[in-house]
Amino acid sequence: MTYLITTNDALAEEVIGKIAEVLGREHRRVEEANEPDAARAILNVAHAFANELAGARADFDRQRFIGEIMKEGS
């Protein structure tokens, strides 16, 4: 099942960016709260999103997506 049903690349990039922003913010929050299990769970969700997006979009940059989520201080 594909939910990203847009041919509008700008919109797709915005949606993907928002997903990375939210997951990154929560990942940093739980790391700061010293909750390693929650941090791992968020990264598992991030990788699941990355897998789905890579399958749906040939131009998806999986490493950049995960890197944005793991970025510190953003």
What would the pLDDT profile of 27-63 be if each residue is shown by its tens digit? 999 999 999 999 999 999 999 999 989 988 888 899 9
Tokens 């969700």 locate to 45
pLDDT digits (tens, 9 = 90+) for 18-32: 999 999 999 999 999
DSSP string over 5-19: ----HHHHHHHHHHH
* Tokens found for residue 54: 């890579």
Supply the pTM of this predicted model: 0.82
